[in-house]
Amino acid sequence: MSTTPLLIKCRIEEVPAIGGMIIGSLETNLADFTGYSPDYSPAYLTTIKGDLTTIEGLINPKQLTAELKVITGRIYTNQAALRPKLDFLEGYINRATGLTINKKDFGISAVRTKNNNGDIEGVVSALGFLLTNVGNNMAALTAKGFTAAQNTALTTIQSQLKNDNVAQNTKLNERNNKVVANYGKINAFWLKLTDICDAGKRIYKHTINANKVDDFTMAVLKRRVNQERTNTKFTGNITSGTTPLKGAKIELLPLAGGRRRTATSKLNGEFLIASLLEGEYLVNVTAAGKAPQTINITITKGQASVHDFNLV
């Protein structure tokens, strides 16, 4: 664990974006900077561009992220597969007689809630409790149609979710540890950025180009990043045939790990999920009495990704 304090004055994921803005402004105005000090030479620009590439690689490692997306995709697939299996098992529990435990205490509700909330550790634990109760009442359940194959399928999902949850946490920790171990590099990069900002404000403060001071003011740059995130959104319309569909649930699941986002379609069928991080997502769209739809999308920074759904 690094004992080096992090000097940055923004969220860690914002460093590449803020750095890119500052370096872009430096490149555009390099002649003014060189005129101010020979420290800001073409060679310096080349070096700090390389620094930015290094920092981007630390904060958003491509290989690790690609591996994480595969694991997360499997988790989402098993979460989706679990839902109908729970519905069938619940039906058998409700039909069965002579059970050793009250039907409401079997554990179906707990598994369903954890699964819907994306709490994978909770799903694994709750499934273990449920499967124990199923095993203790197998004869009563099979008498109503539940099969050994269905029980095996649930056990397999639990095992796969458990293994993938461990693998996902390992990758997330590896990504975090890579950042922590390189606080020194991130700090050195941040100090270069603040130095460029200091020079930029001194160069332009008392000139006809005083508006350029904003390009070198951290508070302004952070607002620009936040505005860009606000503009990074997923929107569209949901219909059933030609009729707008109210109340459909849109679930946005980041494949690289992170917070699950949801929305519900309005009376006119419109939905909106704003302030997203760029990247690849799995989208699940469901509505009562309609066949669900699942697609993969890529969210681009600063843009609105639009997709319409027709559920039948």
pLDDT digits (tens, 9 = 90+) for 282-305: 999 999 999 999 999 999 989 999
Here the tokens at position 62 are: 């491509």
Distance of CA 285 to the CA centre of its chain: 17
1 has a pLDDT exceeding 80: no
Parallel, antiparallel or unpaired: strands 249-254 and 279-286: antiparallel
Q: Return phi, psi of residue 271, to 5°.
A: -140, 160
**Cβ atoms 26, 33 nearer than 8 A:** yes
Question: What residues does each domain of the chain span?
Answer: 1-230, 232-310
* Separation between Cα atoms, residue 283 and residue 251, nearest integer Å: 6
Q: What is the pLDDT of residue 34?
A: 98
Task: Provide mean pLDDT across the span 248-272.
Answer: 93
**Cβ atoms 134, 90 nearer than 8 A:** no
Q: What is the pLDDT of residue 2?
A: 53
155 has a pLDDT exceeding 60: yes
Task: Provide mean pLDDT across the span 155-163.
Answer: 98
Q: What is the pLDDT of residue 99?
A: 96
Give the HSE-up count for residue 282: Cα atoms under 13 Å, Cβ half-sphere.
Answer: 20
* Separation between Cα atoms, residue 200 and residue 214, nearest integer Å: 9
Of 88-97, 140-149, 224-233, the one with minimum mean pLDDT is: 224-233
pLDDT digits (tens, 9 = 90+) for 67-85: 999 999 999 999 999 999 9
* Separation between Cα atoms, residue 100 and residue 140, nearest integer Å: 10
DSSP letter, residue 250:
E
Helix (H) or strand (E) holding 47: helix 42-59
Choose among 118, 113, 148: nearest CA to 131: 148
Q: Which residues pair with 200 in a beta bridge?
A: none
Please name the fold of domain 232-310: Immunoglobulin-like (2.60.40)
R_g (Cα) of the chain, nearest Å: 26
Q: What is the pLDDT of residue 258?
A: 82
- pTM for the model stands at 0.82
3 has a pLDDT exceeding 80: no
Q: 249 to each of 50, 183, 231, 254, 262, how far by Cα in Å?
A: 43, 41, 22, 16, 7
Q: What is the pLDDT of residue 115?
A: 94
- The dihedral region occupied by 207, where left means phi > 0, alpha psi between -120 and 50, and beta the remainder, is beta
114 has a pLDDT exceeding 90: yes
Burial track 19-52 (b if 16+ CB lie within 10 A, e otherwise): bebbbebbeebeebbeeeeeebeeebbeebbebb
* Separation between Cα atoms, residue 255 and residue 74, nearest integer Å: 10
User: What percent of the chain stands above pLDDT 90?
Assistant: 91
Geometric angle at alpha carbon 248, from 251 and 245, rounded to 5°: 145
Q: What is the pLDDT of residue 23?
A: 98
Q: Return phi, psi of residue 265, to 5°.
A: -70, 145
Mean per-residue pLDDT over the chain, rounded: 95
